[in-house]
């Protein structure tokens, strides 16, 4: 208690005092005022309680968002596919019933079927993107993806250069999506070359390892690089290169889920290189 009667938190040390004969004749007392320390501890406790409350609220919001995404995915998978199947089925039936003299009508039906197939591909792309929001690239994984692409077009001449010891940590399923999309991108944009080269490796960007996929294909103008990773964004026309514009958006979302970043360097007609980093822990974070 202070002289004015107010109470305060204190740390008190009592030390016995003895005379030369060893008899205790009193005590020495040192008292330290802990008021500021206790006030700081109470403030920390209050902040921690507030943080826990916010985490609970954020967790609830994320759970609600995931539930909405699940509902969206179900709707896309079932409600949108059903009419597409009907359009495609009836178009096929009409095509089969058309006589050789049908002329423009048969061509219109072929276009309708092609459009429904394109729409189905876009739906698949949207579903892939939504799954990334809810859900280890290694050298072996990279080789498997390369072999799969080579088998799809065995006549193509592509030199694959895949570094050994690529062992970034992360969700294997999600990072497989990164590998497949980046490889598919390189494969597509080197399609016009008689002999192409695709390289996969790792470099040090100053803050740690940066993995990369490089090709010597069509490339792109860096002035439009900000459009690369947006859903349905394309830097080339479909007449030049097929695609839905979903692949790189999926890659970016996976990389961000792993606490990393992705960027590209390229030149029109001079190929492209995609770099990405991952958080050291390799654990996917909750989507923001």
Nearest to 132 by CA among 281, 258, 232: 258
Q: What CA–CA distance (Å, rounded) separates 243 from 234?
A: 9
For residues 10 and 34, is the Cβ–Cβ distance under 8 A? yes
**Largest Cα–Cα separation, the chain:** 130
Q: What CA–CA distance (Å, rounded) separates 237 from 234?
A: 7
Asked if the model's pLDDT at residue 285 lies above 70, the reply is no
Structural domain boundaries in the chain: 40-134, 139-276
In the block, which residue shows the tokens 């190929």?
A: 271
Nearest to 202 by CA among 191, 210, 194: 210
Q: What is the pTM of this model?
A: 0.52
Q: What is the CATH number of domain 139-276?
A: 3.30.565.10
For residue 210, what pLDDT is reported?
Answer: 92
- pLDDT tens per residue across span 49-61: 888 888 888 878 7
Local confidence band at 93 (pLDDT 50, 70, 90 cut-offs): confident
In the block, which residue shows the tokens 């990072």?
A: 175
- pLDDT tens per residue across span 158-215: 999 999 878 777 787 888 889 999 999 999 989 888 899 999 999 988 778 999 999 9
């Amino acid at each position: 208690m202070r002289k004015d009667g107010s109470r305060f938190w204190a740390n008190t040390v009592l030390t016995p005092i003895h005379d030369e004969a060893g008899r205790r004749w009193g005590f020495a007392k040192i008292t330290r005022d802990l008021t500021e320390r206790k006030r700081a501890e109470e403030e920390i406790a209050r902040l921690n309680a507030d943080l826990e409350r916010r985490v609970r609220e954020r967790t609830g919001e994320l759970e609600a968002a995931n539930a909405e995404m699940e509902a969206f995915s179900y709707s896309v998978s079932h409600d949108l596919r059903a009419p597409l199947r009907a359009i495609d089925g009836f178009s096929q039936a009409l095509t089969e019933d058309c006589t050789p003299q049908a002329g423009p009508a048969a061509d219109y039906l072929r276009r309708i079927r092609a459009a429904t197939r394109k729409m189905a591909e876009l739906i698949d792309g949207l579903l892939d993107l939504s799954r990334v929001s809810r859900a280890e690239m290694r050298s072996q994984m990279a080789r498997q993806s390369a072999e799969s692409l080579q088998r799809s077009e065995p006549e193509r001449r592509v030199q694959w250069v895949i570094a050994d010891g690529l062992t970034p940590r992360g969700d294997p399923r999600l990072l497989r999506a990164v590998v497949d999309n980046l490889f598919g991108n390189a494969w597509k944009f080197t399609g016009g070359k008689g002999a192409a080269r695709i390289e996969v490796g790792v470099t040090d960007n100053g803050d740690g390892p940066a993995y990369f996929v490089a090709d010597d294909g069509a490339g792109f103008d860096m002035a439009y690089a900000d459009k690369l990773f947006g859903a349905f964004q394309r830097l080339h026309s479909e007449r030049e290169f097929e695609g839905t514009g979903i692949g790189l958006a999926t890659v970016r979302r996976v990389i961000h889920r792993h606490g990393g970043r992705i960027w590209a360097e390229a030149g029109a007609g001079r190929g492209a290189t995609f770099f990405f980093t991952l958080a050291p822990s390799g654990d996917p974070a909750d989507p923001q």
